[in-house]
Amino acid sequence: MTDTQTQTKLKIFSGIQPTGRKTLGNYSGGFRQYAQTQEVGEGFFCIVDLHSITVDYDPDELRSSTLDLAAMLFATGLDPERSTIFCQSHVTAHAEAAWLLSSVTSYGQLGRMTQFKDKSENREFIAAGLFTYPVLMAGDILLYQTDVVPIGDDQRQHLELARDVAERFNYRFGETFRVPDGQYPEIGGRIMDLQEPTKKMSTTMSSEQGAVYVADTPDQIRKKFKSAVTDSEREIRYDPAAKAGVSNLLEIMSVATGETIDDLVARFDGSGYGDLKEAVGESVVALLTPIRERFEALRADERELQRLLAVGAEKARRAAEPTLELMYDRMGFVRPDAGRFFGAARPRGL
Ligand code: AMP
Ligand code: TRP
């Protein structure tokens, strides 16, 4: 591959938090899309540990969840030879970029973030980091001159904010960042809680029975689908706007098997809810069993996970540094080693 080809390769970036056990929702909006997009460009996939300290957390759990998540990213198909998989805290540019970008982020816009409103509701202590969280996320994305950000529907508002921050910086200090696009799955962008289908399936907010975890055993998965809440009409139809249990089950099965919703609706026409729930459960068992087996094997070798993360961090540092330097330069900072970057290579297209 020539230099120009490398330079024009589509840049993909996404981040995922090392909190709690990852759900089928994360698989649908996150992991599944990461593995697909790494095939079409240069992928950076970041374990956003700095984001995880914005709500109450346990340091020992953060340590083990970080390694869990690394193993999960590899188990769901990320290839460390092809993509860059790393921890946010290993690349100090992320924390620096967040501070610099806070100067072009609107306080009012941060206050309108629904995730901030949801997570701060009824809390005695609200960390300042929960409020500035989207600035850190904007930095994550912009440091890599990202074209595409594969995410679930719940991250739309944050992505819009990242675009606004990029545009404001470019306008104020000169063309510096690519303005990234979000990529959302057509089906399965928002998997709902099995017990409360009006709420999204969540690592932190769902009940044990309401969320299916990627590392659940087949029996746990079957049980959860058996007790899933369905609708009152006793008819199998798809109406995503209604946020109903049956539509959610159909989406889950489509994600698990790759069949279209129309095909599934036709297949289950006339069947009872019990049959549908059993079939969806089995499709999820078939999807997650090989992932769980790979996860367990990878998770057992912490030294290897650490080694892979160190390789990823080194690649990420090299990729992020030119943009961070350009930010400092454009903003008027005197750098300790002026001239090291400028005159030499600048980030792609700048
Ligand atoms: P998080 O665990 O919050 O770091 O989320 C990681 C990725 O999973 C993000 O791209 C989210 O948008 C996505 N995600 C989280 N929950 C769901 C859900 N219930 N349905 C679809 N995507 C989700
Ligand atoms: N906020 C995202 C979430 O909770 C995680 C995240 C952090 C992210 N930085 C990112 C996602 C950059 C995409 C790109 O799911």
Ligand 1 and 16: CB distance under 6 A: yes
207 part of a folded domain: no
Residue in 67, 45, 79, 49 with CA at minimum distance from that of residue 299? 67
Residue in 30, 141, 42, 25 with CA at minimum distance from that of residue 77? 30
The secondary element (H helix, E strand) that includes residue 172 is helix 156-173
Query: Ligand 2: which residue has its CA nearest to atom 8?
Result: 15
Q: Which residues on neighbouring strands pair with residue 16, listed in sequence order?
A: 47
247's CB contacts (< 8 A; 6+ apart) are 237, 238, 239, 240
Q: 10 CA distance to ligand 2 centroid (A)?
A: 19
Pull the structure tokens for residue 138. Answer: 């904007």
**256 lies in the same domain as 312:** no
**164 lies in the same domain as 272:** no
Residues of the chain with pLDDT under 50: 1-6
213 part of a folded domain: no
- How far is the C-alpha of 115 from the C-alpha of 133, rounded, in Å? 10
Backbone angles phi, psi at 250, to 5 degrees: -65, -40
**41 lies in the same domain as 104:** yes
Backbone angles phi, psi at 39, to 5 degrees: -75, -20
**224 lies in the same domain as 333:** no
Pull the structure tokens for residue 114. Answer: 């629904």
- How far is the C-alpha of 78 from the C-alpha of 39, rounded, in Å? 10
Pull the structure tokens for residue 173. Answer: 């200090």
35 part of a folded domain: yes
**227 lies in the same domain as 314:** no
Please give the span between the terminal C-alpha atoms of the chain, in angstroms, as a whole number. 21
Q: 280 CA distance to ligand 1 centroid (A)?
A: 20
**87 lies in the same domain as 16:** yes
- Owner of token pair 């973030």: 113
Ligand 2: residue of 11, 12, 13, 17 to mutate (most ligand atoms within 8 A of CB) is 17
Domain boundary, last residue among 282, 299, 316: 299
Q: 315 CA distance to ligand 2 centroid (A)?
A: 20
Chain Cα centroid distance, residue 217: 23
Q: Which domain holds residue 287?
A: 218-299
Do 253 and 264 form a contact (C-beta atoms < 8 A)?
yes
**37 lies in the same domain as 114:** yes
Query: Ligand 1: which residue has its CA nearest to atom 12?
Result: 152
191 part of a folded domain: no
- Owner of token pair 């970057």: 341
**230 lies in the same domain as 326:** no
Pull the structure tokens for residue 217. Answer: 């055993």
**229 lies in the same domain as 258:** yes
Q: What is the pTM of this model?
A: 0.94
- CA dihedral (78, 84, 85, 86) in degrees, to 10, reads 180
Span 60-112, pLDDT tens digits: 999 999 999 999 999 999 999 999 999 999 999 999 999 999 999 999 999 99
196 part of a folded domain: no
CA angle (79, 81, 86) in 5-degree steps: 70
**44 lies in the same domain as 140:** yes
Residue 100: what pLDDT? Answer: 98
Q: Which residues on neighbouring strands pair with residue 44, listed in sequence order?
A: 13, 84
201 part of a folded domain: no
192 part of a folded domain: no
285 part of a folded domain: yes
Residue 204: what pLDDT? Answer: 81
**109 lies in the same domain as 244:** no
Domain with residue 107: its CATH number is 3.40.50.620
- How far is the C-alpha of 79 from the C-alpha of 85, rounded, in Å? 8
Closest ligand to the CA of 184 = 1
Q: 154 CA distance to ligand 1 centroid (A)?
A: 7
**156 lies in the same domain as 237:** no
Provide the domain count of the chain.
Answer: 2
- How far is the C-alpha of 276 from the C-alpha of 189, rounded, in Å? 21
Count other Cβ atoms within 10 Å, centred on residue 277. 21
